[in-house]
Amino acid sequence: MYVAAIIAAGGRGVRLGADRPKQFLELGGRSILELSIAALAASDRIDEVVVAVPADHLEATRAAWSGGTAKPIAVVAGGARRQDSVSNAFAHTSAATDIIVIHDAARPFVTAGVIARTIDAAAAYGAAIAAVQVRDTVKQAGATAADGSRPITATLPRESILLAQTPQAFRRDVLARALAAGHAIDATDEAMLVERLGLPVHIVDGEPGNIKVTTPEDLAEARRRAAGDGGPLLSIRIGNGYDLHRLVAGRPLILAGVTIPFDRGLDGHSDADIVCHAVTDAVLGAAAAGDIGRLFPDTDPQWRGADSMALLRGALTHVHAAGYRVSNIDVTVIAQKPKLLPYLAAMRENLAAALQVDVAAVSVKGKTNEGVDSMGRGEAMSCHAVALLVS
């Protein structure tokens, strides 16, 4: 029996909100996609693997897997929908294939046992999926009312409710019919297309550990799992940020959201809050999620005069989307004048609120430049920030 595996990796993972498709995010030094390909390729029940990825990642993925395994691995361009990606990959499977296994790239912890069970059931019944039984009581809700509430309309028997996973496996002829007949509808998985043909889909036991990375919380859990038994419970990332602006007349002096009485303020496209800018770059850098200039470019009129505390809060959403949270930050402001000591407590409180951490996790220090250079002459101020992130 010849078995081909299709890995559906053509999506963008927009719900995660990362700076790249989620399948290319790393878990323990390897991408989610790499782990999923390796799991399928390692199965002694699978003879070839076809991977569907976004078109703009096609060449890079092909280069990464060129000659990388003993089994044939083909990489094709995905489509606009999941079923389009699967159809593109299906067209590249061997004509001699008996069973097609389809697996989500976002499930990197699939085991050989689940793969084998699904293949055997597909060979016996024509179509099969891995699924896990729900453990909680399941409620059906009605429409959302004007006040935001939703009434319960029924309590469903949980023994009949299962959570679908992948792999899903099908005899080649069954999948071909399902893809052809279901082209005009949007399906969440291939089993749904087979169901619409009126054909039975057999269920095999999935595994709770076969998680799908969809949300930042999923990504954090996946990174903990990827650390391995006995490994660190937390993934730790460190980033640094720096900013400098000239002091000019006619501008307010704003540091960490605190307006400080002074005869000059910092010049810039936004409110020129160097503390927020340095901290923003530090947390983004630690998460490898870009930098303030890319997210909020000074060439964009919408950021003119922008509140930099709001920019920092916006950057934090990208940090969370990458699966990290802020552990602590350390900030050093370099300014000859004015004295910052009376304002440090308020600055710490503002930063802590924006970063969703306790004030004790935020350090802000003021230093002079001993009369040296532009900062020492009172022509400019600068800020250094270091951020520690954990997942």
Beta strands 30-31 and 127-133 are unpaired
Instruction: Kindly report, residue by residue over 221-237, the tens digit of the pLDDT.
Output: 888 888 764 444 456 89
Selected from 3.30.1330.50, 3.40.50.2300, 3.30.420.40, 3.40.30.10, the CATH number assigned to the domain covering 236-390 reads 3.30.1330.50
Domain extent listing, the chain: 3-227, 236-390
Q: Which pLDDT score is estimated for 233?
A: 44
Beta strands 138-141 and 152-156 are antiparallel
Q: Which pLDDT score is estimated for 116?
A: 93
Q: Which of 58-72, 105-119, 366-380 has the lowest mean pLDDT?
A: 58-72
What radius of gyration do the chain's Cα atoms show?
Answer: 26
The Cα 386–Cα 260 span in angstroms is: 23
C-alpha separations of 239 from 26, 278, 285, 330 in Å: 17, 10, 5, 11
Helix, strand or coil for residue 156? strand
The Cα 272–Cα 246 span in angstroms is: 9
Confidence of residue 67 (pLDDT cuts 50, 70, 90): low
Percentage of residues in the chain having pLDDT higher than 90: 60
Q: Which pLDDT score is estimated for 14?
A: 63
What is the average pLDDT across 139-149?
87
> Is 148 or 332 the better-scoring residue by pLDDT?
332
Q: Which pLDDT score is estimated for 357?
A: 86
Q: What is the pTM of this model?
A: 0.62
Buried b (16+ CB within 10 A) or exposed e, 142-171: eeeeeeeeeeeeeeeeeeeebebbbbbbbb
Please classify residue 180 by burial: count the beta carbons closer than 10 Å to its beta carbon, then call 0-12 exposed, 13-18 middle and 19+ buried. Answer: exposed
What is the CATH superfamily name and number for domain 3-227? Spore Coat Polysaccharide Biosynthesis Protein SpsA; Chain A (3.90.550.10)
Angle at CA 282, nearest 5°, toward 280 and 288? 100
Q: Do domains 3-227 and 236-390 have the same CATH topology?
A: no
Residue entry with tokens 């950057």: 315
Residue 124 DSSP code: H
The Cα 21–Cα 14 span in angstroms is: 8
Instruction: Kindly report, residue by residue over 276-306, the tens digit of the pLDDT.
Output: 999 999 999 999 888 988 888 888 888 888 8
